[in-house]
Structure 1
Amino acid sequence: MSKLKIVVLLVCCTLKGLLVISQTATITGKITGSDGGQLGAATITILKLKKGAASDSTGIFKLEQVPFGAWQIEVSHLGYKTYRTNITVDHNEIIQDVALMQATDNSLNEVVISGTMKEMSKLESPVPVEVYTSRFFKSNPVPSFFDALQNVNGVRPQLNCNVCNTGDIHINGLEGPYTMVLIDGMPIVSGLSTVYGLSGIPQSLVERIEVVKGPASTLYGSEAVGGLINIITKKPGNAPLVSADVFGTSWGEVNTDLAVKFNAGKKALSLLGVNYFNYRNKIDNNHDNFTDVTLQNRISVFNKWTFQRAENREFSLAGRYIYEDRWGGEMNWARKYRGGDEVYGESIYTNRWELFGTYQLPMKEKVLFQFSTNGHNQNSVYGAIPFMADQYIGFGQLTWFKTTGHNDLLTGITYRYTFYDDNTSATADKNDVNLNKPSHTRLPGLFVQDEITLNSQNKLLLGIRYDHSSVHGSILTPRINYKWNSVNKKNVLRLSAGNGYRVANVFTEDHAALTGARDVIFKDDLKPETSWNGNINFVKKFYIGNAFVGLDASAFYTYFTNKIIADYDTDPNKIFYDNLKGYAISQGVSLNADILFPCGLKILAGATAMDVYRKEEGKRIDQLFTEKFSGVWNIGYTFKRMGLTIDYTGNVYGPMRLPLLSETDPRREWSPWWSIQNIQLTKKLGHGFEIYGGVKNLLNWTPNKGNPFIIARANDPFDKNVDWDANGRAIATDPMGPNPFGLTFDPSYVYGPNQGIRGFVGARFNLYK
């Protein structure tokens, strides 16, 4: 072949190659969901080409000017797993339809159990249930779920003591004793459950958290007055073989989560998780000679077993043990001062164990036996005052599920036994206060629920429960729920009304009564609290352009009778407990918004406005420690090619009334507006590894700003330099004297965390095979 022919051939081949490369095509198609519905605002990308598009409201998309060749297309949509497929582009128009079949975290099709005590899709549930997955909580890593709930709308972790930093969970303004905590649907029934029930659970073992706002006593009994928090742990079959999550902060906090899955024979699978948290750094940034944050050393072990049985019948067992040593107090406090009156400190040793499980009886009908039991030992001192308490609770429940026609019936019988003993007047004999008399409370119950499917768009839920308390006698709690959804299921309306009740056990609930600053007075025998609640919930899904928008709005109203009130106002040296002679109201509205943009930007935001007060003798009194307004947000964006995610989370709270000790107390009666904001970067490294880091409390907000002090009489915690009048009240001295405001030591003035700005860094690892 001549040189000329070779040159011509090379030129022709080059031109042909350039022509092929320069040729482009258009890829079109439709994105549908698992139910065949059209999915708008789905993102369709070819990462290698940095080219993308979004589907319109009918699910149609168009990717233009795609070069000929073999490419990988990635399709993602809120609520569905990312779909990837390889496609060859070799002619001018390619049609590629995609059906996203596997719904995940945020989909309406996710399974929930808390509302009706049986598994069903969130869309079909007649009871509104909010679901927060483990991925949600990873956007702002914290050492316990107690802290993690600060980013859930209408839910606020409330610190109850500036020194020991114990607290409870408020739902829609109602205090911790009105919140029931469950693990895998089983109640960790205890007044301390919202403190210790949410601490020490390895987050790598948690599948999701379900939150039900409003009374759920018809199904769950006492404590479920304000709502419930159900921690759903992973099924061992779905968990990674090994997982680890470790992070530390610039304040010296270290948190470690470790979990492993293993087989025990051919029919048993187990999950073992360990959580360890340590903080031993004394910090006093507000210069009151008290630790800003309590020092802690906590370890928790969690183990869950599932067993394979014939016909896939359920059988699972789980247990948890938690030990915690925490203390806060004057900066020079040491163990040798524990229980003395030289240097003030609050030291708490906690031993707690829990065991719970589910067993499906070998019957044709679905009958489940479920149980939970726990023991709680607390060895505490508050200054020179000891508090020693033991509590043991046993709970058993037998439920029968039956479907007949349009009716899904659920019937259950329950029994709960509570043993409680401490060294306070709560368990003293009425006739002889020097004689100890532990309480034994028995609470059998029976409930019936009928879920009636009227048609594909309407559902009615009826329920009633009867309990007989060995202390308070008979208690009846009915409820009714109605759900309507549009044909396309993008609009859902829920109406509910029901009754809740609570059997009181004050001392396991109110740490303010144990700080040594006030005497506790029971005016009368406490009667069970009851409440009536109405709730309207509306969910709407729609599109603005190519952006997906989900709205979830609620209005709630709760009316209390016999509400147990802790009266801090009558006497600054005492706390009076009594049933309210009038009534109490908790009412408000809330809105959650879920927005996804085609570029991958996700916004979760919520706000709650509420009014919580009591009316007694014609006088309105706003409830202490209850904000008028709260808002939360979680904004995330992922740079897919870089494997980098940025999360901006935060909350904002309006004013709340705080307990003052006297008319001359110089501290604010109402808290100011305040906000905690955080930012985090997460980088995926591949092979199950990722690293993360960021800054917490970007604004460096702490509650001492704007106040002369937070802890009253921090310079004299044992009130040694306080003068008293004939009525036992502190006497105010002259402005230059030792007690110009007439105060006593009191750490109960607390409405937010004392921990300022800090950096954090951590790493995660998950191995599935």
Structure 2
Amino acid sequence: MQFKNYLLISFLMLFGQYLFAQSATLSGTVHSKDGNNPLIGANIYFPGTTIGTTTNGNGEYSFKNLKAGNYEIMVSYSGFKRKKQMIEVKEDSQTIDFQLQKSERNLGEVVITGTGTPHHLKSAPVQTELIGKKLVKAVSASDFTELMSGISPSFDFNPGSMGSFMQLNGLGNDYILILVDGKRMYGDVGGQNDLNRINPDDIEKIEVVKGAASSLYGSEAIAGVVNIITKKSKRKVYAENSSRISKYSTWQQHNKIGINLGRFSSLTSYDHKESDGWQLSDYEIDEDYDNDDASDDVLVETDAKAVNAYTDHTISQRFDYDISKKLSLYAMGSKYEKDVSYPTTVKKYGYSYDDLSYSAGAKFLLNRRDKITLDFNSDQFKYYYKYNQDYKDYTSGQKVLNTKQRREDINLKYIFKLKDAHLLTVGTEYVNEILESDGRLVGDKEDANTISVFAQDEIKLLEDLSFVAGVRYIKHKEFGDAFTPKLSALYKLNDFNLRATYAKGFKAPTLKELYYHYQKGSTSTLYLGNPDLDPQKSNYYSFSAEYIVSKFSLSLSAYQNNVDDMIAYETVDTNAEDAADGVKKTRQHFNIEEAESKGIDFLVNYRIGGGFTVGGGYSYVDANDKTDDIRLEGVAQNYANLRLLYDKKWNDYSLHVGLTGRIQDDKFYDGEPDAKGYNLWKLTTNHHFANVGAFQLEASAGIDNIFDYVDDSAYGSHYGTLNPGRTFFIGCNIKFAK
């Protein structure tokens, strides 16, 4: 109902816009000074206001309904010097053209995640790994896990039938904060984020900040922050459709429609994905066979699939309205549904997930330098059993709710400049979480809330030396007070950047870790929460050296992340009552007193000429349970990515070819066989054809897993990859922009 109210308010705002519209119109073109080529997608905006636009396919821009007066206007485009000048807008139509000069300084794209404020990548005081749209397109991934493992050696995924458990530098999903356009992704499947909600076709770029970031983002951000920025357009009318098909009836589609009418804008998207799933082996481990020696596991024939059939849908809507040059509002919401189907011979039910989220907020510009933002977010994630046959009191197709998770937060932030080289951010956040489950909690409902205040100071002491210092004070309902400071420094030495960071992380146990208990499917293992858990705290240290020139970039980072009271599972004695009900093994959450992840990350990229670019990276991870002196489970030690890209343009046709590879070794599991290492290579081609009026057409085709590697371990084993072997895929992308 609230979302419908946002919709009504937004349309009333649109109507009001026409009632009070001004008559001044400003238009023109943006070209390069050398060669006079139109710059497509250049940004034109009025600093200190919410008014801005981008150029179209001919380098043209237009502002309508402007109020007459004097303005400072800014024009920018990646790789070119920004242009700023004062103009007078009169109550009629006028034309102003701009020419931009190429910049000799390659500052790169603008990133925001490390500090919450914009910085050019090369001069960002907090090291940020940027995965740009060119790399996203080169991989042409079917899902988010394939995208990240194909590009960044720092990421890994422990796959399972309910989803993939993400890791960053040896620490798991629980310690990684995932943001979509700055909004936290909430709700878990088997204790892990449902990453299927992220469609690679909608990704503009990804910003990764490694290490503890609790000072700015609060709990969860111990291993790092992943901010996924989706595609947007400031064109008057924008529409896009992307479709892709491959083996096993795997089909995905992304649709987006945007409208920008002066002060009001609307962005609607719909995503759909489905697959029949696949087997990796015709055999599974007989979990009812009473044997503790994994090497002597009994195998039985099975219909179970490593990846089960599924279908999902996501629809989202966002409205923005600029009330004035100083004040802007937004309202947005999304609905996600996913069904996972098991063969009827394997299970009597599958899984169904439902997520409803909505947000609203405001931004007020006090002047050209200072602003206040206020955001409210609500997210409700539900997890069901969905029966595939009649069973006991259930009928085929019936859904039974298992758990409902709800999170609401309010975030108030004030950013102001003390001097040109001194920026201060202060804010406060309130978070409330509720977990409901009939039969999986001691009661039917548990809740927790947190209130925190934070401050961050960005200061440039010298021309080549800058610091970022931040701290957050946290007051948790169950675990009391905590402070999480962070200090980062950047020193620029010619074309070298030297960065160092110390940060303290904090993560309270989740409501599931504290109170949730369940018996896994039809197996004989019982999983228990533990209300006596302690909060997890970390100390993160890193040092990096980076060298960037126009065609070549290289970075080397060393890090150490010490985590105290890390939460994991341990096997405990099964009580007599549970044993009588058929439980053979009981596992319960506990705190590992000391754990550590340390290692190095190496990244390189070189444009060698002739349209060719080579690059890749290597990550060494040494992750250990220091209390028991063993490696952390599910972590390999060596990861590498390689890529060769080729770009060529002939008149109205462009070709982009990408060869990407992923190599990693075995993952450790205590008392069980390791997950096998693997070596996967992928060839992707993208074809861009001449525009037809306002329409743009692109096509893609490629081969995934060129050398046809399959991990054919029995179902129930730990897998390194769920890739089904060599597959072919084709896709197309159609855009309309005017």
Same fold (TM over 0.5): yes
The answer for the alignment partner of 1:765 in structure 2 is 734
* Alpha-carbon distance in structure 2 between the residues aligned to 1:240 and 1:173: 44
Match for residue 413 of structure 1 among 428, 441, 460: 428
2:203 is equivalent to residue 206 of structure 1: yes
Letter of the structure 2 residue corresponding to residue 483 of structure 1: L
Structure 1: distance between partners of 2:660 and 2:169: 20
Matches of 2:572 and 2:631 in 1, distance apart? 12
Cα distance in 1 for residues equivalent to 2:169 and 2:246: 31
Q: Which residue of 2 aligns with 1:100?
A: 102
What is the CA distance between 1:180 and its match in structure 2? 0.6
Contact 2:351–2:383 (Cα < 8 Å) also in 1: yes
Structure 1 residues 143 and 311: CA distance shift in structure 2, 3 A: same
For 1:19, the equivalent position in structure 2 comes to none
1:101-120 correspondence to structure 2 within 5 Å: 101=103, 108-120=107-119
Structure 1 residue 199: Cα displacement: 2.8
User: What does residue range 510-659 of structure 1 map to in structure 2 within 5 Å?
Assistant: 514-517=520-523, 518-522=525-529, 525-542=532-549, 548-567=551-570, 573-580=585-592, 582-616=593-627, 619-641=628-650, 643-658=654-669
Paired residues for 1:245-394 under 5 Å: 245-263=242-260, 266-280=262-276, 283=279, 286=282, 288-328=302-342, 333-334=343-344, 343-344=346-347, 347-361=350-364, 363-364=366-367, 365-380=370-385, 388-394=402-408
Equivalent residue for 1:743? none
Deviation, 1:195, is 5.8
> CA contact under 8 A between 2:536 and 2:567: conserved in structure 1?
yes
1:305/1:236 Cα in 2 relative to 1: closer, same or farther (>3 Å)?
farther
Distance 1:634 1:239 in 2: 37
Once the two structures are superposed, residues 647-698 of structure 1 have per-residue CA deviations (whole angstroms, 9 ceiling, x without a partner) of 111211112113556xxxxxxx233431221111222222211211111111
CA separation of 1:253/1:205 partners in 2, compared to 1, >3 Å: closer, same or farther? closer
Give yes or no for contact 2:518–2:528 (8 Å, CA) kept in 1: no
Tell me the secondary structure at the aligned position of residue 414 of structure 1.
strand
**Aligned equivalents of 2:438, 2:700: Cα separation in 1:** 46
Residues 696 and 235 from structure 1, CA distance in 2 versus in 1: closer, same or farther, beyond 3 angstroms?
closer
Q: Report the more deviating stretch, 405-414 or 218-227.
A: 405-414
**One-letter amino acid matched to 1:413:** T
Gaps of 5+ in 1: 1-28, 35-77, 82-96, 335-341, 429-435, 662-668, 712-746
Query: Whole-Å Cα distance in 1 between the matches of residues 458 and 534 of structure 2?
Result: 32
Pair 1:397 & 2:419 matched: no
Deviation readout 1:696-731 (Å, 9 max, x if unpaired): 111222222xxxx433xxxxxxxxxxxxxxxxxxxx
RMSD in angstroms over aligned alpha carbons? Answer: 3.2
Q: Distance in 2 between matches of 1:203 and 1:80?
A: 26
1:217 aligned onto 2:228: no
Tell me, in whole angstroms, the C-alpha distance in 2 between the residues paired with 1:702 and 1:176. 25
- Residues 134 and 203 in structure 1, CA contact (< 8 A), matched pair in contact too: no
Whether the 8 Å contact between 2:458 and 2:466 is mirrored in structure 1 is: yes
The corresponding residue for 2:689 is 685
Hey, what's the Cα distance between the residues in 1 that align with 2:445 and 2:604?
49
Shift of 1:381: 6.9
Counterpart contact for 2:264–2:321, Cα < 8 Å: yes
Match of 1:763, as an amino acid? C
- Equivalent residue number for residue 710 of structure 2: 702
After superposition, give the CA deviation of every residue in 1:64-108 in whole Å (9 maximum; x if it has no partner). Answer: xxxxxxxxxxxxxx9748xxxxxxxxxxxxxxx9942599xxx63
Q: CA deviation at 1:223?
A: 0.6
Amino acid at match of 1:100: K
Q: Judging by fraction of residues, say which structure has more strand.
A: 2
Q: Secondary structure at the match of 1:135?
A: helix
Distance 2:387 2:543 in 1: 44
Separation in structure 1 between the aligned mates of residue 263 and residue 328 of structure 2, nearest angstrom: 12
For 1:176, the equivalent position in structure 2 comes to 173
Distance 1:463-1:388 versus aligned 2 partners, 3 A rule: same
Are residues 362 and 497 of structure 1, via their aligned partners in 2, closer, same or farther at CA, if it must alter by over 3 Å?
A: closer
Shift in Å, 1:153: 2.0
Deviations 1:155-212 (A, max 9, x none): 4352442xx2412321111110111111221223444599656433454543211111
User: In structure 1, the residue corresponding to 2:432 is in which secondary structure?
Assistant: strand
Cα gap change, 1:320 to 1:98, in 2 (>3 Å)? closer
CA distance in 1, matches of 2:238, 2:556: 39
Match in the other structure for 1:472 = 479
Look up the SS of the partner of 1:440 in the other structure.
Answer: strand
Kept after mapping to 2: 8 A contact 1:300/1:322: yes
Distance 2:573 2:725 in 1: 34
Residue 117 to residue 753, structure 1, CA distance change in 2 (3 Å):
same
Partner of 1:471: helix, strand, or coil? coil
The amino acid of 2:559's aligned partner reads F
Partner SS state of residue 125, structure 2: coil
Provide closer, same or farther for how the CA distance between residues 168 and 79 of structure 1 changes in structure 2, counting only shifts above 3 A.
farther
Could you tell me how far 1:507 is from its partner in structure 2?
A: 3.9
By how many angstroms is 1:373 displaced?
1.4
Contact 2:613 2:644 in 1 (8 A): yes
Quote how far apart the aligned CAs of 1:268 are. 1.1
Distance in 2 between residues matched to 1:600 and 1:261, nearest whole Å:
33
Question: Kindly tell me: are residues 423 and 512 of structure 1, through their superposed partners in 2, closer, same or farther at Cα, counting changes over 3 Å?
Answer: closer
Kindly provide the amino acid, as one letter, of the partner of residue 709 in structure 2.
W
**Equivalence for 2:502:** 497
1:392 Cα deviation from its structure 2 partner: 0.8
Query: How many angstroms apart in 2 are the aligned matches of 1:515 and 1:604?
Result: 44
Aligned equivalents of 2:135 and 2:235: distance in 1? 18
| CA deviation string 1:577-624 (max 9, x = no partner) | 1012x31010000011011012110123011001001122xx311111
Q: 1:768 to 1:568 in 2, by over 3 A?
A: farther
Q: How does 1:129-168 map to 2 (within 5 A)?
A: 129-161=128-160, 164-168=161-165
Residue 449 of structure 1, CA deviation: 0.7
Change (3 A) 1:193 1:457: farther
Q: Where do residues 58-69 of structure 1 align in structure 2 (5 Å cutoff)? A: none
Distance 1:561 1:577 in 2: 15
Of the three residues 225, 232, 246, the one matched with 1:228 is 225
8 A Cα contact 1:201 1:275, kept in partner: no
CA pair 356-307 structure 1, distance change in 2 beyond 3 A: same
Identify the match of residue 441 of structure 1 among 435, 448, 456.
448
Residues 632 and 675 from structure 1, CA distance in 2 versus in 1: closer, same or farther, beyond 3 angstroms? same
Q: Does the CA contact (< 8 Å) of 1:507 and 1:513 recur in 2?
A: no
Change (3 A) 1:367 1:767: same
How far does residue 142 in structure 1 lie from its aligned partner after superposition? 2.9
Q: Which amino acid aligns with 2:459?
A: I
SS at match of 2:483: strand
Deviations 1:320-368 (A, max 9, x none): 211000123xxxx33xxxxxxx743661101101223441136454111
SS of equivalent residue, structure 1 residue 241: strand
**Per-residue CA distance 1:120-158 (angstroms, 9 max, x = gap):** 222232111111123322222234324321123244352
8 Å contact kept, 1:465–1:476: yes
Segments of structure 2 that go 5 or more residues without pairing to the other structure are 1-33, 40-76, 81-98, 284-301, 393-399, 575-583
Three-state SS of the structure 2 residue aligned to 1:255 is: strand
Distance 1:696 1:204, change over 3 A: closer
Q: Secondary structure at the match of 1:624?
A: coil
The reply to whether residue 750 of structure 1 matches residue 714 of structure 2 is: no
Q: What SS class does the counterpart of residue 134 from structure 2 fall into?
A: helix
